[in-house]
Homo-oligomer: A and B are copies of this chain.
Amino acid sequence: MEAKSFKRLPKHIGIIPDGNRRWAESHNKEKHEGYSYGINPGFELYNLCIHFGIQEMTFYGFTQDNTKRPAVQTKAFQNACVEAVMKLAHRDANLLVIGNTKSPLFPKELLPFANKRVQFGKGLININFLVNYGWQWDLSSNASKSIPRIDLIIRWGGRRRLSGFLPIQSVYADIYVIDDLWPDFKKDHLYEALSWYQEQDITLGG
């Protein structure tokens, strides 16, 4: 499918990749094992978005709320975030990691990419990655000020809510929910979301 198949594409897509634990359970694995199956879907989606000429994507890595989960899960999603960034370093993106770096829950491997944009390869797309992010922390520190308004949020895993995802950038976003769990990502999910998005009228509240 080509970009020209769509009459209007979002400039900035927010990604809420929910459902890793439910996917693990449904595959007879421990909940924490689900996170590692969420890495490849992110790269499939990244490739597709570059193909379509999407300018910017923001991925919900993990939040300060999430770190209240059992330690084995917290460790697993921290590791998955580090692995994702190490893989991205071999691709073509401008990475910005946003999150509370003052907490030990922020993976120290990601400090070099925090709060400043780092170019990898040809820098074909802006990728923002929320790591140890908290909406209250963000609102009080204006931490995400360099992330622009989001046009389309796609959430996997069936839940119809934002769960604290960038409250300021999300005020006018169109929200598309996919019932399939994130590790079950397939190209058609993005096509569906983009097809739906092009039919929405953009009023910015006006």
Which residue of B has the minimal Cβ distance to A64? B205
- Convert A89-112 into 0s and 1s, putting 1 for each residue whose CB lies closer than 8 angstroms to a CB of B: 000000000000000000000000
CB distance from A78 to the nearest CB of B (A): 16
Interface range on chain A (Cβ under 8 Å from partner)? 20 to 34
Within 8 A of B (CB), among A127-174: 135, 139, 159-164, 167-168, 170-174
Closest to A134 in B: B205
**Given A164-B171, A172-B164, A175-B175: A68 and B206 within 8 A (CB)?**
yes
Interface status of A66 (Cβ within 8 A of chain B): yes
Which B residues touch A164, using CB under 8 A? 171-172, 205
CA–CA, A68 and B206, complex, Å: 6
By Cβ-Cβ distance, the 8 closest A-B pairs, closest first, are A65-B205, A167-B167, A164-B171, A160-B175, A68-B206, A163-B205, A164-B205, A65-B206
Residue numbers of A with Cβ under 8 A of B are 63, 65-66, 68-69, 135, 139, 159-164, 167-168, 170-177, 200, 203-206
